[in-house]
Amino acid sequence: MKLIIDTDPGVDDAMAIIYAALAPDIELLGLTTVFGNVNIEQATRNALWLLEFIGQDAAVAKGAAMTLEGKTIAPSYNVHGDEGFGEYPAQKPKHSALEETAAEFLCRMAREHKGELVVCPIGPITNIAHAIQLDPEFATNVKKIVFMGGAAKVPGNITPHAEANTYHDPHALNIVINSGANVTMVGLDVTMLEPCQEEFFDNLAEVSPKFGGFLQEISRFYLKFYESIGVQGCGFHDPAAVIACTHPELFSTEQLPINVIEEGEEFGQTQICLEDEAPKISVCIDADMAQVKAIYNRVFGVDA
């Protein structure tokens, strides 16, 4: 599967990117970066360094620094750390991002791999909305868009109503949902089904000292944040979205009409709307998370 991950790395973004680079059934064509967990400069630096760390020769295209409507959002440093990887110090990559913007790269890749490219946004979905506005054929050139975000039948995580990625650019998500693309939502309904405990990262580190060891180190800060809000274990958000791209059979979905609320108390909520004309997307409402995690572990060498 030809894949581009749109990312705001980010601890669970790093979990997803390392998995995608190691997975034998994924051809990672590149990363596009976006504001969110960190600012755009940090997101782009982290993406470039991570691919070098993994030894993965894939492009990085820098994307949006702010929302589609030009609003600047404060990074979630309290969740992912001041540099995006917990307390792991900022790293200086050797390579630079492409000259192309994220939206230009996405549109070109979708044209060059028409009907084959899967796009997996795991941050605010701003770059994808830009690509849809840049190229009217983008939405139908891509095979599917599988995004991490939203909360259909469960509470939010950044507010009681909204999940963080959708809260950070609800207008962009409405554009993607209404674009005519084949869209799957991997939200908190499934990514919080089985939070990852410390032992999950210990096991990764034991069999994969370099990659697992890195994830074990950067997960400490992330686990502490969840503990501070009374949750034992951390969300398996971004890696679940990547695995939903290649193993959709592990996810139970409903075709639901989703509208993202763009004002008021429920700002950022992915609301199941009752107007018939609202476009329906595939919403993950359950998943075999034990099997999803077994597939994740397998690429690091951890037996199920």
Cα(224)–Cα(215) distance, rounded to whole angstroms?
Answer: 14
Known active-site residue 8? yes
Backbone φ/ψ region at 7: left (φ over 0), alpha (ψ -120 to 50), beta? beta
Q: Which of 145, 148, 281, 295 binds ligand RIB (CB under 6 A)?
A: 148
Rg (CA), the chain: 17
Q: Least distance from C-beta 41 to Ca ion, angstroms? A: 16
- Residue 249 burial by Cβ neighbours in a 10 Å radius (0-12, 13-18, 19+): exposed
Binding part of the chain for Ca ion, among 170-178, 201-209, 237-245, 281-289 by CB under 5 A, reads 237-245
Q: Are strands 251-260 and 270-272 parallel, antiparallel or unpaired?
A: antiparallel
Nearest to 301 by CA among 210, 195, 218: 210
Q: Least distance from C-beta 37 to Ca ion, angstroms? A: 6
Q: Would you give the binding string for ligand RIB spanning residues 163-182, x where CB under 6 A is met?
A: xxx-----------------
Known active-site residue 12? no
Edge-to-edge strand order for the sheet containing 280-287? Answer: 59-61, 27-33, 2-7, 117-121, 144-148, 183-186, 280-287, 251-260, 270-272
Q: Would you give the binding string for ligand RIB spanning residues 2-21, x where CB under 6 A is met?
A: ------x-x-xx--------
Q: Least distance from C-beta 10 to Ca ion, angstroms? A: 4
Between 34 and 261, whose beta carbon lies closer to Ca ion?
Answer: 34
Report the interface residues with ligand RIB, using CB under 6 A.
8, 10, 12-13, 36-37, 122-123, 148, 157, 163-165, 235, 237-238
Which residues are catalytically annotated? 8, 237
